[in-house]
Chains A and B, each alone.
Chain A
Amino acid sequence: MLSSVVSVAFHGVAYGMILYVISVGLSVTMGLMGFINLAHGVFAMAGGFVLSSFMARFGVPFPLAVLSAFVLVALGSVVLERLLYSRLYGAGELTQVLFSIGLILVSMASARLIFGDQAARVLLPDYLRGQLHMMGRDFPTYRVFIIFFSLGIILLLWFGVERTRWGAMVRAAVDHRAMAQSVGINTRLLFMATFALGSGLAGLGGALGADILPVQWAYPFEHLVYFLIVVAVGGLGSLRGPFIAALLIGVADTACKYWVPEFGAFLVYAATIGILLWRPMGLFGVRA
C-alpha cells in the first residue's frame, strides 16, 4: 500500500509537471499580460516540431534541440506579436478569443501541410530512458528529469516576476498601462519581450512534453482544454496558481486512475467544476 502511494504521488507529480510545463507559457501571456491567448498550443506545437525536425533531420542532440525550440519559437512569436497580437492588447475578450481561434485553425492547416498526418517523431537519448531505482521502487528517468526541470522553471519565473525590475515593470504595465507609460516605461518593448518569453516557454513545454503528449497538427485544439483548466483553476494573474493547479490535477487524476480506473475519465472535469464553483476566480486568482 505504502509503496503504491509513493508511485501514485510520483506519477501524479510528474503528470502535473508535464501539464505545468505545457501551460506555463499561458500563465505568462494570459495570466500576467491578460491576453486571452487560446492559440497557446500553436506555440507548443511549433516547439515540438522544432525539436523533432532538428533531432531527426539534422541529428542535433536533445538538449540543444530543446533550447532551439525555446529560442526559435520565442523569435517567431515576436513577428506574430508585432503583426497581429499587439493590435488587440486593449481589445475585448471576445475579439481576442475569436482572433486566437482563427490563428489555431490557420496554424493547424499549415502544420498538416508541412509535417503531414503523423505525429512528430521524438526518440529520447539513452540517458533519459529507463528507470531510476530508489526506495525499492522504479521511477522513469525522463519523468524525474521533467519534475526537476519544471521546478527550476517555476523558481526562475517566480524570481523574475516577483523580485526583478522587469517583473515589477510588467506588473505595473498590466495593471495600468497608461500610468506605466507616463512614468517612462517602454510598454511596447516590454510587452513584446514578455510575450516572446511566454511563447518561448510554450515552445519549450511542447518540446519537453512531446514524448508523453505526442505533437501532431491537431495539438493546439486537442490539449486546449488542459491548458485552460490549469490556468482557470490556478487563477488569472497569478504565477503559483497554475503550478499548484497542475499538481493538484496531476495527482488527483493519477490517483483516480490507479485506484478506481472506472472513474478515470471524469475526475479532472468534476474537480475543475467543483473548484470553480467554490472559487470562481480560481485558487489564487486576483483579477476577474
Chain B
Amino acid sequence: MNMFRLAASAALALAATAVSAQQTVKIGFITSYSGLNGNLGPYMERAVRLYLKQHEKDLGGVKVELLTRDDTGPNPDKARQLAQELVVRDKVNLLAGVIFTPNAMAMAPIATEAKVPFVIMNAGTAVITTRSPYMVRTSFTLWQSSYPLGQWASKKYKTAYSLVSDFGPGHDSEEGFSKAFEEGGGKMLGKVRVPLQNPDWAAYMQRVKDAKPDVLMVFIPAGKTATAVMKNFSDLGLGQAGIKLIGPGDVTTDEELPNMGDVALGVLTVHHYSAGATRPQNKAFVAAWKKEYGQNETPNFVAVGAYDGAAIIVDAIKALKGNMDPDKTMEFFKTWKNPNSPRGPISIDPETRDIVQNEYLREVKRVGGQLANVELETVATALKDPWKEFQKKK
C-alpha cells in the first residue's frame, strides 16, 4: 500500500502541473463493455460523447480526453486495477462511469488516496457515496425508486413478495420496498435473493406463484436479465393467477422493451427516467440521440445518468477554467443543479454528494406501435436518498 500511496501522490503532483500547461482534462472512464450487461457500457459512453459533442464549444478551448476502459462486468478487482492504472500511469483528472456497485466500491479508496474526483454515472447502491469524499453520483439510488414504490404499493395492495438479484442494489431495493410497504400496512409474504448470473427463472417464479401475493416486486440489473424475468413471469402465468408485476424501472428498461414484446404491457414501475417521457428536454435528448446513433436507437436510464454526469463535468470545467483542482472540483459538484435534465430538475445534495431528483410512476403501454414506459404521475419530488435520511435519524 505504501508503494501505491507514493506512486499516487507522485502521479498527482505530475498531473497538477500537466493540466495547467496543456488545458486538457483527462477523464478515466470505466464501464462494462463485456460480461453481464456488457450492452450497457456503450449506452454510457454514447451519452457522454453526445453531451461533449453538444457542448464542446462552451469549454473555452479546454480539451476533454476520454480514456475508456472495460471492467468486464461485476468485477471489483479488475475495476480497481484499471482505476489505479488510469490514475498512476495516465494521470487522469477525474474518474467516471461504472455500471456495477461492487466495482464502484472497489475504486473508492483510489479516489480518496489520490484525490481524484469520481463521478458515478450508474451504480445505485445507497452506501457507495459514503465510501469516499471524492465521489459524486449523477444516476440514482435503489432506495430512491424502491421506497416510494413500496409506499405507493401499500395503498393498493395487501400482500407482496420480493425477488431481487443477490448484490448491493438488490438488497437495497428489497429493504427499501419492504420497509415502505410494511409501514403502509402491507405484508411481505416472502423475500428471495437470486444469484446475479442466473440462467433459469422458472423455479423462483413457481415459488412466488404458489405463495399467491398481490404483487411481485422485482429488481434485477436491467439488461437481458430483465427480458428473461419478464418472459418467465408470463410463461408461468403469474399474471393470470392475479399477481401484479412491479419494480424499480430496471425490469422494464427502455432498450429491452422490444425484446420483451407484449408480455411487458401493463407492468408498473417507479423510476427517475423513461425514454418515453414527454417533457420537452427529454424529447430534445431522445431526438439528438436518434440523430447521432440512428432512428432505431433509444437512450435509457444508464444513458441519462451518464449524460448528466457529462453535464456536471463540463460545468465544472467551465467554472474552473480547466484547472481541475480536486477539492475545488468537489466543492463545485456539491452545489451543482440542473433544472433542465431530460429526467426533470436534478441537483446534488451538498451533504451526501448524492443525486436529488423526482421519481415517476410509469406503466408499459403501446405508443405509436411501440412499447414505452409512460409516466403516469410524479410519486416523489426532489427526493433525497431515503436510506441516508434514515441513517441520519438513527
Do A and B bind?
Answer: yes
Chain A contacts to B: CB under 8 angstroms: 4, 7-8, 11-12, 14-15, 18, 117-119, 121-123, 129-131, 138, 140, 142-143, 211-214, 216, 218, 223, 226, 253-255, 257-258, 261-262, 264-265
Does B202 make an interface contact (CB < 8 A)? yes
Task: Decide: B203 and A254 in contact? CB cutoff 8 A.
Answer: yes
Min CB gap B161→A, angstroms: 12
Task: Decide: B255 and A118 in contact? CB cutoff 8 A.
Answer: yes
Chain A CB within 10 Å — which of B38, B42, B206, B236 has the most?
B206
A sample of 17 cross-chain residue pairs with beta-carbon separation below 8 angstroms, ordered by A number, consists of: A4-B210, A8-B203, A118-B39, A118-B224, A119-B259, A129-B235, A138-B236, A138-B237, A140-B236, A216-B224, A218-B35, A253-B203, A254-B203, A258-B204, A258-B207, A261-B194, A261-B207
Does B261 make an interface contact (CB < 8 A)? yes
Task: Decide: A11 and B202 in contact? CB cutoff 8 A.
Answer: yes
Cα distance A214–B38 in the bound complex, in angstroms: 14
Task: Decide: B228 and A14 in contact? CB cutoff 8 A.
Answer: no
Min CB gap A15→B, angstroms: 5
Min CB gap A118→B, angstroms: 6
Chain B residues in 8 Å Cβ range of A121: 258-259
Min CB gap A288→B, angstroms: 30
Cα distance A118–B257 in the bound complex, in angstroms: 11
Cα distance A130–B203 in the bound complex, in angstroms: 17
Cα distance A83–B107 in the bound complex, in angstroms: 46
Task: Decide: A11 and B235 in contact? CB cutoff 8 A.
Answer: no
Take A130-B237, A218-B34 as given contacts and tell me if A8 and B259 are in contact as well, using a CB distance cutoff of 8 Å: no
CB-CB nearest in chain A for B228: A214
Chain A residues in 8 Å Cβ range of B35: 218
Task: Decide: B204 and A261 in contact? CB cutoff 8 A.
Answer: yes
Q: Which residues of chain B from 192 to 226 have a CB within 8 Å of any chain A CB?
A: 192-195, 198-200, 202-204, 206-207, 210, 224
Take A7-B210, A123-B261 as given contacts and tell me if A15 and B200 are in contact as well, using a CB distance cutoff of 8 Å: yes
Task: Decide: B227 and A18 in contact? CB cutoff 8 A.
Answer: no
Chain A residues in 8 Å Cβ range of B192: 261
Chain B residues in 8 Å Cβ range of A261: 192-194, 204, 207
Chain B contacts to A: CB under 8 angstroms: 34-35, 38-39, 42, 166, 192-195, 198-200, 202-204, 206-207, 210, 224, 227-228, 231, 234-237, 240-241, 255-256, 258-259, 261
Chain A residues in 8 Å Cβ range of B241: 138
Task: Decide: A117 and B236 in contact? CB cutoff 8 A.
Answer: no
Min CB gap B162→A, angstroms: 12
Cα distance A118–B38 in the bound complex, in angstroms: 9
Take A7-B206, A11-B206 as given contacts and tell me if A264 and B195 are in contact as well, using a CB distance cutoff of 8 Å: yes
Take A118-B259, A119-B227, A214-B224 as given contacts and tell me if A11 and B38 are in contact as well, using a CB distance cutoff of 8 Å: no
CB-CB nearest in chain B for A120: B259
Candidates A4, A122, A254; contact of B202 at CB < 8 Å: A254
Min CB gap A165→B, angstroms: 38
Min CB gap B200→A, angstroms: 5
Candidates A129, A213, A254, A262; contact of B234 at CB < 8 Å: A129
Chain B residues in 8 Å Cβ range of A140: 202, 235-237
Chain B residues in 8 Å Cβ range of A117: 38-39, 42
CB-CB nearest in chain A for B241: A138
CB-CB nearest in chain B for A250: B200
Chain B residues in 8 Å Cβ range of A18: 200
Min CB gap A171→B, angstroms: 33
Cα distance A12–B66 in the bound complex, in angstroms: 47
Cα distance A264–B200 in the bound complex, in angstroms: 11
Cα distance A32–B202 in the bound complex, in angstroms: 32
Chain A residues in 8 Å Cβ range of B195: 264-265
CB-CB nearest in chain B for A217: B38
Chain B residues in 8 Å Cβ range of A258: 203-204, 206-207
Contacts A118-B224, A119-B224, A214-B227 known; 5 new A-B pairs at CB < 8 A: A117-B42, A213-B199, A218-B38, A261-B204, A264-B194
Task: Decide: B235 and A143 in contact? CB cutoff 8 A.
Answer: yes
Chain B CB within 10 Å — which of A216, A226, A253, A265 has the most?
A265
CB-CB nearest in chain B for A216: B224
Min CB gap A9→B, angstroms: 11
Chain A residues in 8 Å Cβ range of B240: 131, 138
Chain B residues in 8 Å Cβ range of A218: 34-35, 38
Cα distance A1–B204 in the bound complex, in angstroms: 16
Candidates A8, A142, A254; contact of B200 at CB < 8 Å: A254
Min CB gap A24→B, angstroms: 17
Cα distance A15–B194 in the bound complex, in angstroms: 17
Chain A residues in 8 Å Cβ range of B236: 131, 138, 140
Cα distance A131–B205 in the bound complex, in angstroms: 14
Chain B residues in 8 Å Cβ range of A262: 193
Cα distance A213–B225 in the bound complex, in angstroms: 10
Candidates B199, B231, B235, B261; contact of A226 at CB < 8 Å: B199
Min CB gap B86→A, angstroms: 23
Cα distance A171–B294 in the bound complex, in angstroms: 53
Min CB gap A241→B, angstroms: 21
Cα distance A257–B227 in the bound complex, in angstroms: 20
Chain B residues in 8 Å Cβ range of A143: 202, 235
Min CB gap B309→A, angstroms: 20
Cα distance A70–B202 in the bound complex, in angstroms: 27
Cα distance A257–B236 in the bound complex, in angstroms: 16
Min CB gap B211→A, angstroms: 11
Chain A residues in 8 Å Cβ range of B42: 117
